[in-house]
Amino acid sequence: MERLTITLTPDLAQRVKSAVDAGNYASASEVMRQALRDWEFAEARRQAELQALRADVQVGLDEAAARKAKPFNAARIVKAGQRLAARKR
């Protein structure tokens, strides 16, 4: 295992100490390892969401280029939203 030295703000350092003192973790190293695992999970989720968004944008661009996209109609969008909301009730 590689050893690293990090610098935390006083608030973050206190939060790490409190987590250890409360018995949630055996050491500050365990707190940091868990924080990194959580960060990796969140980053992977963000990347997946970004990929999905890019794919949706590409679908819209492709439909617009093929002239399959409907013209923007705010009233139609509001009505569709109201229908969806009514079904969820």
Q: What is the mean pLDDT of residues 24-50?
A: 98
Residue type, position 27, single letter: S
At 71, the pLDDT band (50, 70, 90 cuts) reads: confident
Could you read off the pLDDT of 72-88 as tens digits, one per residue?
899 999 999 999 999 98
Q: What is the mean pLDDT of residues 11-36?
A: 98
Whole-model pTM: value is: 0.65
Q: Answer whether residue 89 shows pLDDT above 80.
A: no
Sign of CA dihedral 21, 24, 27, 28: negative
> Tokens 């250890």 — which residue?
20
Could you read off the pLDDT of 52-64 as tens digits, one per residue?
999 999 999 999 9
How far is the C-alpha of 15 from the C-alpha of 29, rounded, in Å?
13
How far is the C-alpha of 19 from the C-alpha of 58, rounded, in Å?
45
Residues 6+ apart with CB under 8 A from 33: none
80: its two tokens: 């569709």
Q: Answer whether residue 69 shows pLDDT above 90.
A: no
Mean pLDDT for all residues in the chain? 95
Residue of 5, 25, 6 whose CA lies nearest to 16: 25
